[in-house]
A = this chain, B = another copy of it.
Amino acid sequence: MCGVFGAFTQNGGPVLEDVYLGLYALQHRGQESAGVAWVDDNNAIRTQKGNGLVHLALDQEALAKIDTRCAIGHVRYSTAGGSDPRNIQPLTASNSRGSVAVAHNGNITNAEALKQYLENRGAIFHSLTDTEVLLHLMAHQPHKPMIDAFVDSLRRLKGAYSLVMILDGKLVAARDPWGFRPLVIGQRDRIIYVSSETCALDLVGAKALREVAPGEVVVIDKDEIKSIRIPVQTKCHYQCSFEYVYFARPDSILAGRSVYAVRKALGHCLAKRAPCLSANMVTGMPDSGTIASMGFAEGSTLPYEKAIVRNRYVGRTFINPTQRVRELGVRIKLNPIHDLIKDRKIVVIDDSIVRGTTSQRIIAMIRAGGAKEVHVRISSPPVCFPCYYGIDTPSRVELAAARMNIKELEKIIGADSLEYITVDDLVQAIGLPRNELCTACFTGEYMEGETQDELEL
């Protein structure tokens, strides 16, 4: 998971600082590194990049002073390529035709094959990112105008990409034909923005205009906002359903649906599908289970309490996994309120179970705090399949729900009961037609046409 943001102004304004602030609002989509790129007075592309959170990686004060008409940015989720600075996006390339910078959310599933093909034609890869494939595809079509080389390159990509780019001094946004990751266009006066989520538009004071459609390329320059189709046919869309369940911020709107409202609905669903009449109280795993647990409380007759406190600094601070820290485990992050759980029967709602180890430890901690019963309810279906579209889910053998049935899992995590919603519940709570949504990590139904085509550049 990553976040992208871009801004273009027709008549000046603090677009680079707005990109900084946009990334700050998208920080939940990636904490590993951050970067920005912008156009300087000579139409050359400049960058600033760094590891860690936005405010550590980038120098707000310096950026605020830079005058540019077009800028983009990226926050990167922790991935294998790790902390190598060459992997920090935006990636850039320039040659006599011009310069390009690209920020990418998603994962190109045929990147390995394309890389092989390009290396056989002399390409030298400098990063370990799948994104770099795009730059080489473009470079290997040197005699076309850049925008044509770009669209032609997209045609060869499989998988998920929501891109924000600087190209020919213009702001270009593109979304793969399946629409896996969100991408939305906003406006404030004469500045046009592109963002992964609407919450970042809110922060910079912009209004959401519309989403970039699956398969659309949007080119923003000083005269107009132009739309181009990527020449790829798809039978249906694959908008990621997990964005609603977990990734996106609750104050964002995706495909016209409020994430907050969807999470509430998931809680209602869960209360109907898997009530827990004997319990005294509902609580949510902070933060991802909070809203669904409020929905569950509303949908059942149980009172809702914020019974588990999450240390505010967790997730932004790096605690070394020393011997002592491993011993303390989940306490470092979470603390139940003893008064509330003592001698009570509790329903705990979370968004999902991945490996199951965290759930196990929290349940143990709640029991140690004196709870009589701990019932677990999950506001999504069991995650049984890896995601190849930009989420670092573990392989099947590590996915708890892929390795055992629910009863076994219930036992292993130590819950008095464990229940999930169904895929139908999920689709219904989201409110989009089923064939517009990706549910592959729940169902294994990946997008079609995964095989590598024979394409000659």
Number of interface residues of A (CB under 8 A): 80
A126 sits at the interface (CB 8 A): yes
**CB pair B24 A339 closer than 8 Å:** no
**CB pair B258 A339 closer than 8 Å:** yes
Q: A24-B317, A55-B317, A261-B339 are in contact. Are A123 and B96 (CB under 8 A)?
A: no
**CB pair B324 A24 closer than 8 Å:** no
Chain A positions 132 through 159: 1 when the CB is less than 8 Å from some CB of chain B, otherwise 0: 0001100111110000000000000000
Pick the residue among B204, B260, B290, B304 that contacts A328 (CB under 8 A): B204
- Give this chain's copy count: 4
A121 to B54, CA, bound (A): 37
A336 sits at the interface (CB 8 A): yes
Chain B contacts for A24, CB-based, 8 A: 311, 313, 317, 319, 332
Chain B contacts for A260, CB-based, 8 A: 306, 337, 339-340
A433 to chain B, nearest CB (A): 21
Chain B contacts for A25, CB-based, 8 A: 311, 335
A314 to chain B, nearest CB (A): 9
A212 sits at the interface (CB 8 A): no
A197 to B320, CA, bound (A): 23
**CB pair B96 A203 closer than 8 Å:** no
A213 sits at the interface (CB 8 A): no
A298 to B297, CA, bound (A): 13
A32 sits at the interface (CB 8 A): no
A42 sits at the interface (CB 8 A): no
Q: A124-B136, A203-B332, A306-B250 are in contact. Are A316 and B319 (CB under 8 A)?
A: no
A21 sits at the interface (CB 8 A): yes
Chain B contacts for A143, CB-based, 8 A: 120
The B-contacting residues of A in range 163-217, CB under 8 angstroms, are 199, 202-205
Chain B contacts for A125, CB-based, 8 A: 94-95
A61 sits at the interface (CB 8 A): yes
Chain B, Cβ-Cβ closest to A17: B324
A397 to B376, CA, bound (A): 52
A125 to B24, CA, bound (A): 31
**CB pair A124 B250 closer than 8 Å:** no
Chain A positions 303 through 346: 1 when the CB is less than 8 Å from some CB of chain B, otherwise 0: 11110010111011111101111011001100111111000000
Q: A14-B324, A61-B322, A319-B55 are in contact. Are A251 and B337 (CB under 8 A)?
A: yes
Instruction: Give 29 CB contacts A-B under 8 Å.
Output: A17-B324, A18-B324, A21-B328, A24-B311, A53-B317, A55-B317, A55-B318, A61-B320, A85-B85, A93-B124, A94-B125, A96-B119, A122-B122, A122-B136, A122-B139, A123-B123, A124-B124, A199-B309, A203-B328, A203-B331, A203-B335, A205-B331, A250-B337, A253-B338, A258-B339, A287-B312, A291-B306, A294-B305, A304-B304
Interface contacts beyond A122-B122, A123-B124, A124-B136: sample of 4 additional A-B pairs, CB < 8 Å, sorted by A: A17-B325, A24-B319, A203-B331, A250-B306
Q: Which 6 A-B pairs have CB atoms at the shortest separation, nearest pair first?
A: A122-B140, A55-B317, A251-B309, A258-B339, A95-B119, A93-B124
